[in-house]
Structure 1
Amino acid sequence: MERVEDYVALTPGVTIVTNTAEVADSQVNIRGINGARDAENNYALIIDGVLRTNPAALNREYSNLQQIEVLKGPQGALYGRNAAAGAIVITTKKPGNEVEGEVKVSGAEDNTFLVSGSLSGPLVKDELFVRLHADYRTSDGYYRNSFLDSKTIDGFEGWNVDGRILWEPSAATSLDTQIHYGEVDANAIVFNASFQLPAFAQFLGIPEFFEDVNDHRFVFQPNITSFNNQTALELSTKLDHDLEWATLTGWLLYSDIDNNFGADGTSGAFGFFNNEPTCRQTTAELFAAGVTLPPPQILGPTPEQSIFGPYTPTSCDGTQFQVRNQEDVSFELRLASPAGQALRWLAGVYYLHIDREVGVNLGIDKGAGITRALFVPPSGTNPTEQLVHDNFRTNVYAVFGQLAYDLTPDLEGSVALRYDREVRRVRNLVPADARTQFVDFDGPPFTGGAPLNPGLSPIINPSGVIPPQKRAFEQVQPKVSLTWRVDPEWTLFANWGVGFRSGGFNNLGSAATVDLFFNSTIGAGVKIADVFRKETSNATEAGFRGRLFGGRLRLEGAYYHTIVDDMQFFEFFVGPFGLLRVVSNIDKVRIDGFEVSAHARPASWLDLYAAFNFTDSSIKRNDSRPDTVGNKSPLTAKYTLNGGAMLTLPVLDDVDWILRADGRLTGPTWFHTVQDEQRPTIFGVPADYSVTRRDAFFLLDLRTGFETARWSLMAFATNLTKERYLAEVIPAIEFGGSFVSPGALRRFGAEFRVKF
């Protein structure tokens, strides 16, 4: 396993959405608490004891892995900021006195290749050690652009270099310094549109206007080749010093991750650019050439005679270019008592500064591709037609501590407390004097002359000014735990804790835009704010861990109950203003569930495992969309079932044959708060979203080959049974449809690894 999603696939009650929109976008759901796109993480990501705060830091290659743990439930006191749903703890191998290295080469279908290598050893014996690593991965991806006849839908190319210096000047002191640099050049926006407009299906006789998302047949034919570029630089240093009466741990992290992507647009359905010459020309030429669009779309000789969805081969969609850059500096200091005493304690402080830039641009497609800038003047080849662009700055201050006491030799009680205060500022960066050429916020007809940011329009904002804003969010997060070692084989535990995720700012002008175009025109009744509220959760858990048959069978189980207040949730709007990404709040969500797992080793050559999670969730209050009360928590699978086996059979004195199978059944999943409801749309007819739940799906991976202490040669297959499933569904409620992304297809490959 080199990527976190490989491990998540083996973890019950945890799901992840990644690589559907862009490489920096990963949404992790842990026991019903979802990660909202464009918000902070809902989990703490710890790499070798250092907390990473950038949401883009998760989705990358990890070298020299020793262990990955997914801890569930509030973990703030021990693992840090944003650990409301849990923590992902990654530990890599330390360099030591032995000179050792590893080279791995793998190849698979779709021109998929990975090359990685590492080397470690001492610079000064017993004192100074170093490890170097580099990797390169490339793939054409699974899907093809049928219009451009190219594999440019979900391709990927990326490389990383890592360095680590471990200094141990004495038995009491160690200084661990790491640097990571990586670059990615990939595709973006692996989506089609699926429509949920039954009135159109009946009136026009086109059944695809009312489509179950699970039945969608994917056709990719944009005229724009998408791109996604990321550069990541991370530098950390961590000090551990034994003071005899306590251990002092301190770390400092600098992170700078820049991410941008460009892709075909979504605006063809609104007719923004019907009178733009390139739109009219490409429509006529493609119609004359006999090009067809997948239903329910229709390509006619003119835009007015066509029915367009998003991402068509014409230029009438426009383009999109988005930027998400973040630079942050953080440090933590903590003191911890020795582990062997009856009363154990921990105390620490934490600071974080974030400087984040977020921009979303709608551009006019003049046939010259995408200009990689958020603002392009009307004289440019890809003029900006709509823009939200803001700078977000955050300062975070936290103190935390924990007391653990052995109430009896077999019963431990602990109390933890964390206090966070986040001060957030936002400043709008859209040029106030720039004007559109077509989009006018009151069309059709679209005659332009409006500000680029809908929030600057006098129709929406009479002042014509978006002033800077500042807000503070704070929370005390207690946690109480009891652990009873019933006997050497069995342990019972229970805990209660409060989780916290800070509120923040949407792009300024979001609330006014939704009010004007959806609430005042079609009576959508959607409540969106420029400031979204903090999320808090009260989580209770009780469970057991045990062993049978001398440790050959290990069992675990837990029941959990969580109340989430103001759960943060991503909403995507498209309309006569262009597109809008916002974070909203679900006022109250109840989550109940249980999970059980078993690991067995009936023989020295056979390992078996199985794990099951069931989550029952219910929205109890949602002022943003009141008719969704009683629905399920979004992005939460009803259940997950994992199982697998590994055989290790000797074939020669030092050669083993390995066969491993891993399967996962993921239950039905809703991706929005709107589920079985009908909702008004900008097209004047209601949409029915009862067909937007992702069906359950089963994935099977297989791996087999030969292994020695020095080398291994393996063949592998992912998604062996060729399961067709959806990676993500993003309903755009007032648009009358959903943006759907396909899952990975079957892929065969081989891998060779050598150690020295």
Structure 2
Amino acid sequence: MLTFSPGRFAGASLAALAMILAAPAAAQDGASSDDQAREPAEGGNQIIVTGLRREDTLQDTPAAITAFNAEAIENAGIDKPADFINLTSNVNLVETQNVGNAFIVIRGITQARNSEPSVAVVIDGVQQVNPAAFSQDLFDIEQIEVLKGPQGALYGRNAIGGAIIITTKQPTDQLEGNITAGIDNGFGFYTHAGLSGPISDNVRFRIAGLYKDTDGYIPNPYLGREADPYKDYALRGNLLFDPGAGFSVDLRASLDRTRTTGFWYNIVGDVNDTSLPVRVNNEGIDNRDMNNVSAKLTYDGDGFKVTSVTSYDTVKEIITGDAFDFLPTNEAYCALPSDPCFSGSTDLNQSQYLNVKAFSQELRFESPSNEDLFWMFGGYLISTDRFISTGNMLDLGKGVFPVYREPTSNPDNPQYSFLSDSQDNFAWAAFANLGYKFSDLLRIDASLRYDHDKRENTTETPNAWLGYINYIASLYGAPQSAQGDVRTRNFSAWQPKVTVTLTPTPDLTFYGGYSRGFRSGGFNQTGVGVVALSNGVVGVNDVFEAETADTFELGFKSQLADGLLTLNGSVYTTESKNSYFFVFLYANSTQNLGNVPKVRLKGFELEANVNPTDDLQFNVAWGLTDSEIKSFPDPAAIGNEAPVVSRSTLNVGAQYTPYIGGGLSALLRADYRRIGRTWWDVYNSTVRNPVELVDVRAGVKGEHWSLTAFASNLFNEKYNAEFSPGGFVFKARPRIYGVEAGYRF
């Protein structure tokens, strides 16, 4: 186990970088720096990225972008978001108990339960509208781009930390297909496949699917089985019409069904405590159903292009399981003598239900991207209907049963508390981009977007279940709550972005600029403000405010020794206003968001890639983020690190793909990642020690087939993936290993 003080860590990291620059090694193809996705210099080709809304080579794009092409995705075994995020500097994914919740933390811009996302996620040109849909299995993927820094001027609200652009494999002119199947030590089995080809001269199709089933990896000795079984199946279809005359129509539909378990936490005071086994007495469920249909219509005219993107999405998730303190019946501890489990004879369990439907529409007009003058303008709207309910039930030892829109009348699992709210949200935006290449040396790009978000929250909780909240409200002279109450708030912001690019030589680019990101505010469940106040929790109210982040950034990109070495770097400073933090209120079993009025973030990234030969690659990437709370209602938190922010990331990787004869090539790959110290709440009550992970892959590939062995978390690092205020910890996955085989035609 490696341990570093901050000073020693910085020195060791710089020493590692120096060793790599001096070593005869090469960076991984597309694995972690801006240039790792490009082909070796001898090939003369570079990956084309579209993250800035225009096509350009990765090396010439004036932004900190990590990109992964199809070959890199296959070689790295990327099949879920955590895989590519773990290969990206200054970006972390906090995996949580809810299957639909995985928090992206990018340059210190964080995410929390029930919050808007910290990045815009765009899949095949359609922006994902619900953060509960991000954490899903990836298959049949052509390219992934991760943009760092606010991208609100380009992608609107919620692109406050950056953007993730995912492109699936497109329909083809000839019939082709692929299938991959694998097993792991879960015992788990998975397979995914794709088939594509022409239907007629101007109609092409692609269909792809996935199935995954594992018994799990983390034992629950109380129940005598694994705590985390997981099943998922997904299907995606695509029809591409090309009638000619500049028109094209891209129709897509997808579904995803995930089945796993919920609420198997441990309660600890120190996030580094991994000694406790999972001991919940209710296995519970966590079932998520997602559907999407979309249509993209494009017209390429004479000197301009028009694109219309229409999308309809639904996400449903029901979660049940044990409640605080997640111990078996007769062992549970309750905080108050009045609680039903105080005697030790009765426990609590819980249920949460989420149902979200969203319709979105974007229309944009743009010039050809290869001209010196580039322009784009358009508009966007989205309508969202959201319902959420949470509640506790008395655990009589007869199991836990789901509760949806109404309190349960089940005598085997009687309702103890219940809250529900619905939201009717409508947002719209107008945007314009303008860029001009004055010469080979100078280019200036400017973008401006205005987002307006109207949110309406209706209390759906029956009056009979509002007694506790109204009692607390009466003590503080606050308004009483009633079923049917409507709260309305408007959130809006201008989001500018300006970038200046200097290219003194074809192998050297400097860029710098200013950008703003905006993330909409919203509503906690009815009455939590007074409950938080009565429990001494500050910064949490019935409404959480919108967040803005203003960033100044300078960066460079360089290629040396005829493309043998790529060295890129960037430095940034961000002022975040009203960033989110998470609080669980045990008193009414609600998950809530609060605001930190002001946080200052400062950091940098330095990435190197060496390609001495076509088949040998090596990379290193170091990212540092320093966060400081500048303003908070409780002065005790001022000067602390911001919640859920990791101080640093270090990535080192190597890949060797030699030709071994007989039409066969080999794959040897290793990736090392170190996640620095991580803080979890505004008071910095606990800090996770650095986490070090190693993933390896080895295999052989022929013209139409491949066979690969793999291991993630090779050295079985034990750590908690998440810590929530109140001591809730969620265990990270242990070592997972297996073998997979693929065939393509």
Shorter-chain TM-score bucket reads 0.7 to 0.9
Using a 3 Å threshold, how does the CA distance of structure 1 residues 454 and 176 change in structure 2: closer, same or farther?
farther
Which residue type is aligned with residue 708 of structure 1?
A: G
Match of 2:19 in 1: none
Match of 2:442 in 1: 411
SS of equivalent residue, structure 1 residue 716: strand
Q: Is the 2:228–2:261 contact (alpha carbons within 8 Å) kept by the matching residues of 1? A: yes
Q: CA separation in 2, counterparts of 1:138 and 1:59?
A: 16
> Structure 2 residue aligned with 1:474, among 492, 500, 505?
492
Q: CA deviation at 1:216?
A: 3.4
Q: CA separation in 2, counterparts of 1:706 and 1:360?
A: 50
SS of equivalent residue, structure 1 residue 147: coil
Q: In the TM superposition, what are the counterparts of 1:229-308 in structure 2 within 5 Å? A: 229-266=287-324, 283=330
Percent identical pairs in the alignment equals: 32
Match of 1:530 in 2: 542
Q: CA separation in 2, counterparts of 1:268 and 1:29?
A: 27
Q: CA separation in 1, counterparts of 2:720 and 2:212?
A: 24
Q: In the TM superposition, what are the counterparts of 1:171-570 in structure 2 within 5 Å? A: 172-195=246-269, 212-266=270-324, 283=330, 316-374=346-404, 375-377=406-408, 380-434=411-465, 451=467, 463-465=480-482, 467-516=485-534, 518=535, 524=536, 526-570=538-582
Q: CA separation in 1, counterparts of 2:301 and 2:471?
A: 56
Q: Is the 2:274–2:731 contact (alpha carbons within 8 Å) kept by the matching residues of 1? A: no
Match of 2:71 in 1: none
Q: Structure 2-normalised TM-score?
A: 0.86
> Structure 1 residue aligned with 2:667, among 658, 665, 674?
658
Q: Is the 1:114–1:137 contact (alpha carbons within 8 Å) kept by the matching residues of 2? A: yes
Structure 2 residue 621 is the aligned partner of structure 1 residue 611: yes
Structure 2 residue 235 is the aligned partner of structure 1 residue 161: yes
> Structure 2 residue aligned with 1:5, among 79, 82, 87?
82
Using a 3 Å threshold, how does the CA distance of structure 1 residues 268 and 340 change in structure 2: closer, same or farther?
closer
Using a 3 Å threshold, how does the CA distance of structure 1 residues 315 and 468 change in structure 2: closer, same or farther?
farther
Which residue type is aligned with residue 256 of structure 2?
A: G
Q: CA separation in 2, counterparts of 1:24 and 1:37?
A: 10
Match of 1:572 in 2: 584
Which residue type is aligned with residue 332 of structure 1?
A: E
Q: Is the 1:458–1:464 contact (alpha carbons within 8 Å) kept by the matching residues of 2? A: no
Q: Structure 1-normalised TM-score?
A: 0.84
Q: CA separation in 2, counterparts of 1:338 and 1:462?
A: 57
Which residue type is aligned with residue 244 of structure 2?
A: S
Q: In the TM superposition, what are the counterparts of 1:587-606 in structure 2 within 5 Å? A: 587-606=597-616
Using a 3 Å threshold, how does the CA distance of structure 1 residues 337 and 192 change in structure 2: closer, same or farther?
same
Stretch moving more, 252-261 or 463-472: 463-472
Q: CA deviation at 1:221?
A: 1.4
Which residue type is aligned with residue 363 of structure 2?
A: L
Q: Is the 1:315–1:365 contact (alpha carbons within 8 Å) kept by the matching residues of 2? A: no
Number of corresponding residues: 663
Structure 2 residue 642 is the aligned partner of structure 1 residue 633: yes
Q: Deviations over 1:91-129 (max 9, x none)?
A: 11211111100010010002111111110000013x110
Q: CA separation in 2, counterparts of 1:525 and 1:578?
A: 13
Using a 3 Å threshold, how does the CA distance of structure 1 residues 307 and 731 change in structure 2: closer, same or farther?
farther
Which residue type is aligned with residue 238 of structure 1?
A: K
Match of 1:139 in 2: 214
SS of equivalent residue, structure 1 residue 229: strand
Q: CA separation in 2, counterparts of 1:132 and 1:484?
A: 43
Q: CA separation in 2, counterparts of 1:411 and 1:451?
A: 65
Using a 3 Å threshold, how does the CA distance of structure 1 residues 230 and 88 change in structure 2: closer, same or farther?
same
Q: CA separation in 2, counterparts of 1:643 and 1:361?
A: 45
Q: Is the 2:582–2:725 contact (alpha carbons within 8 Å) kept by the matching residues of 1? A: no
SS of equivalent residue, structure 1 residue 94: coil
Q: CA separation in 2, counterparts of 1:361 and 1:32?
A: 32
SS of equivalent residue, structure 2 residue 139: coil
Unaligned runs of 5+ in 1: 196-211, 270-278, 284-292, 435-449, 519-523, 676-688, 733-737
SS of equivalent residue, structure 1 residue 483: strand
Q: In the TM superposition, what are the counterparts of 1:739-750 in structure 2 within 5 Å? A: 739-750=728-739
Using a 3 Å threshold, how does the CA distance of structure 1 residues 357 and 162 change in structure 2: closer, same or farther?
same
Match of 1:621 in 2: 631
Q: CA separation in 2, counterparts of 1:34 and 1:457?
A: 31
Q: CA deviation at 1:590?
A: 0.3
Using a 3 Å threshold, how does the CA distance of structure 1 residues 478 and 316 change in structure 2: closer, same or farther?
same
Q: Deviations over 1:292-324 (max 9, x none)?
A: x7xxx899xxx99x9999xx9x77331110012
Greater RCO, 1 or 2 (C-alpha within 8 Å, sep 6+): 2
Unaligned runs of 5+ in 2: 1-77
Structure 2 residue 706 is the aligned partner of structure 1 residue 712: yes
Q: CA separation in 2, counterparts of 1:318 and 1:251?
A: 46
Match of 2:9 in 1: none
Which residue type is aligned with residue 242 of structure 2?
A: E
Q: Is the 1:502–1:533 contact (alpha carbons within 8 Å) kept by the matching residues of 2? A: yes
Q: Is the 1:385–1:452 contact (alpha carbons within 8 Å) kept by the matching residues of 2? A: no
Structure 2 residue 738 is the aligned partner of structure 1 residue 752: no
Match of 2:63 in 1: none
Structure 2 residue 102 is the aligned partner of structure 1 residue 72: no
Using a 3 Å threshold, how does the CA distance of structure 1 residues 103 and 539 change in structure 2: closer, same or farther?
same
Match of 2:91 in 1: 14
Q: CA deviation at 1:493?
A: 0.4
Q: Deviations over 1:211-232 (max 9, x none)?
A: x331331211111112100111
Q: CA deviation at 1:344?
A: 1.4
Which residue type is aligned with residue 618 of structure 2?
A: L
> Structure 2 residue aligned with 1:103, among 179, 182, 193?
179
Q: Deviations over 1:621-664 (max 9, x none)?
A: 012x3310001111111110001111112222310111000110
Which residue type is aligned with residue 547 of structure 2?
A: E
SS of equivalent residue, structure 2 residue 568: strand
Q: CA separation in 1, counterparts of 2:431 and 2:333?
A: 60
Q: CA separation in 2, counterparts of 1:539 and 1:317?
A: 48
Q: Is the 1:102–1:754 contact (alpha carbons within 8 Å) kept by the matching residues of 2? A: yes
Structure 2 residue 47 is the aligned partner of structure 1 residue 31: no
SS of equivalent residue, structure 1 residue 744: coil
Q: Is the 1:268–1:317 contact (alpha carbons within 8 Å) kept by the matching residues of 2? A: no
Using a 3 Å threshold, how does the CA distance of structure 1 residues 72 and 464 change in structure 2: closer, same or farther?
closer
SS of equivalent residue, structure 2 residue 219: coil
Q: State which structure, 1 or 2, has the greater radius of gyration over its C-alpha atoms.
A: 1
